[in-house]
């Protein structure tokens, strides 16, 4: 019974990851993150990803407030935020988000406000989607840990 749960959870993890990779939401870099997780840093991936979420939300807020300012849109500042967003997104393997950032940056370089707005909305959407999926992933993994943990006393 417990073994089945662990297997099911593992299958869920794999399916979710497969989906994310398929859709181009995540890329190889995420695998590199996973490889860095070991006994010395057991929660590395979730640590990094949580920091990423925290920072990204700040950045998205900043971007939105910059764009909402109808008087003067500071495209330079947007570019700086975007650059950071791009850097962190690519570092954790959030491929799609990074690509939207590229489009966003192109629009901002042309001072194209409409394009920037569109890109921002898309960015927010992609970000929410990724966040949900990754939370799901972490939940499954937590359950796996629990499922594995429950087994040990029985083995003893």
State in angstroms the smallest separation of the CB of 116 from other proteins. 11
Nearer to other proteins, 3 or 22 (CB): 22
Nearer to other proteins, 90 or 141 (CB): 90
Stated as kind and residue range, the H or E segment containing 142 is helix 113-155
Tell me which residues touch other proteins (CB under 8 A). Answer: 14-15, 17-19, 21-24, 26-29, 31-36, 41, 44, 47-48, 51-52, 55, 80, 83-84, 86-88, 90-93, 95-96, 98-100, 102-103, 106, 110, 112, 114-115, 117-119, 121-122, 125-126, 129
| Buried-state track 134-152, b at ≥16 Cβ within 10 A, e below 16 | beebeebbebbeebeeeee
Nearer to other proteins, 95 or 147 (CB): 95
State in angstroms the smallest separation of the CB of 150 from other proteins. 26
Distance linking the first and last C-alpha atoms of the chain: 17
**Angle subtended at Cα 95 by Cα 126 and Cα 144, rounded to the nearest 5 degrees:** 80
State in angstroms the smallest separation of the CB of 6 from other proteins. 17
Q: How many CB atoms lie within 10 A of CB 42?
A: 11
Scanning the structure block, which residue is given the tokens 């849109």? 73
């Amino acid at each position: 019974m417990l073994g089945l749960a662990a297997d099911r959870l593992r299958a869920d993890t794999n399916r979710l990851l497969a989906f994310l990779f398929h859709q181009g939401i995540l890329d190889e870099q995420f695998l590199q993150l996973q490889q860095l997780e070991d006994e010395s840093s057991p929660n590395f991936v979730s640590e990094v990803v949580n920091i990423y979420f925290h920072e990204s939300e700040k950045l998205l807020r900043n971007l939105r407030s910059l764009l909402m300012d109808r008087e003067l849109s500071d495209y330079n500042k947007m570019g700086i935020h975007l650059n950071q967003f791009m850097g962190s997104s690519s570092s954790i393997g959030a491929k799609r988000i990074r690509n939207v950032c590229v489009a966003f940056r192109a629009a901002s370089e042309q001072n194209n406000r409409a394009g920037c707005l569109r890109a921002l909305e898309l960015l927010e959407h992609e970000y929410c989607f990724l966040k949900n999926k990754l939370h799901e992933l972490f939940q499954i993994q937590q359950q796996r840990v629990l499922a594995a943990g429950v087994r040990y006393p029985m083995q003893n």
